[in-house]
């Protein structure tokens, strides 16, 4: 069973999909109001109109405020998603094409980023991949090549359930480049202390809809892109043109603006982190106390993802897992098993992005506890 995202008629969906996924109910209400207001919706608003320029200025300001982004950084809204940034990073930071760049590989997406980067730079690979192809820990941050133009990492690996809850402070001077697509806005970032050079985040997990990538670039890294870098991926070009080198995704930008306004009103990034800890702790506590009925591949609590919790049911037994998914679907719980570019593995995933409330996470935890109790009652009766 792959897992439909449409529950039975009349049942409210609780979306735990790894993305694209839902936004908070209040944010979705504000988005719907864009189409009811007596003004032209940003979906069909000229990107160079004064009305949209006001939206753009507001979203840049709110992103900076919500995430404490220093003035030393440009904030860009780009196309191409994370895959576009896999190429954009070396094309912007390695102008000759043969420069060294260290890639810290701790999961599926950093491994994929490495594959694309190898076309545009000379990657130095530091990987934690196990012999069976799995990832259950982070690579070492020590003894990195000091000649690296940058050090690349993915701060939350959605498939593997590994997260860096704090960015490392490296011993070399190379700037950090961070794929924060699935954890941006869920925890504070020490931009200067961790020597962040570039951070990018696809909008569709925590801050908006598919089709927009937020990129934060330290200004001193602008100005020397590769001659092969296309304008649509060029940080220097897009910064110089004020995010308007080509037609920006106007509606998606306004959605991020609405989200950031909501996030600030909720208490900001520290409140988002508190909720992330509360939601993930509920599920991990249940898994750890289930005496093996549920299990997760990441044993070290210090690197367990708060965003994406992989878990199996009854050791991966397919019949029991199918019953679990169907019973959850009947109650509106969807998105625990979805197709990925890598197929369907042993583990289900509960994704707990900003759009999932603490109450919704508790509904999932209560369902899992009830399913476990029923299974054990049947097992003891047999």
pLDDT for 128 equals 97
Asked if 158 and 203 sit in the same domain, the reply is yes
Domain boundary among 266, 285, 304: 266
| 179 carries an active-site annotation | yes
Instruction: Find the CATH number of the domain harbouring 70.
Output: 3.40.640.10
Looking at 111, 149, 187, 205, which residue is catalytic? 205
| 205 carries an active-site annotation | yes
Q: Confirm whether 75 is domain-assigned.
A: yes
At which residue do the structure tokens 């070009």 appear? 237
Asked if 298 and 169 sit in the same domain, the reply is no
Q: How far is the CA of 87 from the CAs of 79, 92, 114, in angstroms?
A: 12, 9, 9
What is the rounded average pLDDT of the residues 283-292?
98
* CA dist., res. 100 & res. 123, Å (int): 6
Asked if 243 and 302 sit in the same domain, the reply is no
Domain boundary among 266, 296, 322: 266
Looking at the predicted structure, is the pLDDT value of residue 201 above 60? Answer: yes
215 contacts 235 by C-beta, under 8 angstroms: yes
Range of the domain at 359: 14-18+268-381
Q: Identify which of 80, 33, 71 has the alpha carbon closest to the alpha carbon of residue 248.
A: 80
Domain boundary among 212, 247, 266: 266
Q: Identify which of 268, 306, 316 has the alpha carbon closest to the alpha carbon of residue 165.
A: 306
Asked if 214 and 317 sit in the same domain, the reply is no
Looking at the predicted structure, is the pLDDT value of residue 1 above 60? Answer: no
Asked if 233 and 147 sit in the same domain, the reply is yes
Q: Confirm whether 7 is domain-assigned.
A: no
Asked if 103 and 91 sit in the same domain, the reply is yes
Asked if 165 and 135 sit in the same domain, the reply is yes
**pLDDT tens sequence across 34-63:** 988 677 889 888 999 999 999 999 999 999
What is the rounded average pLDDT of the residues 10-34?
94
Range with the poorest average pLDDT among 14-23, 34-43, 115-124, 129-138: 34-43
Looking at 109, 191, 262, 329, which residue is catalytic? 109
Asked if 246 and 100 sit in the same domain, the reply is yes
Looking at 111, 149, 179, 279, which residue is catalytic? 179
The count of structural domains within the chain is 2
Instruction: Find the CATH number of the domain harbouring 297.
Output: 3.90.1150.10
pLDDT for 147 equals 98
Asked if 248 and 143 sit in the same domain, the reply is yes
pLDDT for 377 equals 84
Asked if 155 and 259 sit in the same domain, the reply is yes
Q: Confirm whether 368 is domain-assigned.
A: yes
DSSP state of 13: P
Q: Confirm whether 6 is domain-assigned.
A: no
Mean predicted lDDT score pLDDT of the chain: 95
């Amino acid at each position: 069973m792959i897992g439909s995202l449409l529950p039975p008629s009349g049942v409210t969906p609780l979306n735990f999909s790894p993305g694209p996924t839902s936004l908070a109910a209040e944010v979705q209400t504000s988005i719907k109001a864009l189409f009811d207001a007596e003004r032209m919706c940003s979906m069909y608003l000229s990107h160079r109109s004064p009305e949209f320029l006001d939206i753009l200025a507001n979203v840049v300001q709110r992103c900076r405020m919500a995430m404490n982004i220093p003035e030393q950084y440009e904030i860009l809204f780009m196309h191409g998603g994370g895959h576009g940034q896999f190429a954009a990073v070396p094309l912007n930071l390695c102008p000759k094409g043969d420069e060294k760049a260290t890639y810290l590989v701790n999961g599926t997406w950093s491994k994929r980023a490495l594959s694309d980067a190898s076309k545009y730079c000379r990657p130095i690979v530091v990987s934690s991949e196990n012999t069976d192809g799995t990832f259950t820990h982070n690579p070492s941050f020590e003894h990195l090549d000091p000649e690296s133009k940058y050090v690349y990492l993915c701060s939350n690996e959605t498939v593997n359930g590994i997260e860096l809850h704090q960015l490392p402070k490296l011993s070399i001077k190379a700037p950090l480049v961070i794929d924060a697509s699935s954890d941006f806005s869920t925890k504070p970032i020490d931009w200067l202390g961790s020597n962040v050079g570039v951070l990018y985040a696809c909008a569709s997990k925590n801050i908006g809809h598919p089709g927009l990538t937020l990129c934060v670039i330290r200004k001193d890294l602008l100005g020397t892109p590769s001659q092969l870098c296309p304008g649509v991926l060029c940080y220097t070009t897009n910064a110089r043109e004020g995010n308007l080198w080509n037609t920006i995704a106007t509606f998606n930008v306004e959605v991020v603006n609405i989200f950031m306004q909501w996030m600030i009103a909720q208490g900001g990034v520290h409140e988002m982190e508190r909720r992330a800890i509360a939601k993930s702790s509920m599920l991990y506590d249940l898994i750890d106390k289930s005496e093996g009925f549920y299990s997760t591949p990441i044993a070290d609590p210090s690197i367990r993802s708060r965003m994406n919790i992989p878990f199996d049911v009854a050791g991966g037994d397919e019949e029991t897992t199918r019953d679990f998914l169907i019973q959850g679907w009947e109650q509106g719980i969807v998105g625990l098993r979805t197709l990925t570019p890598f197929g369907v593995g042993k583990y289900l995933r509960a994704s707990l992005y900003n759009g999932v409330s603490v109450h919704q996470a508790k509904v999932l935890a209560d369902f899992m506890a009830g399913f476990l109790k029923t299974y054990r009652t049947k097992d003891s009766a047999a």
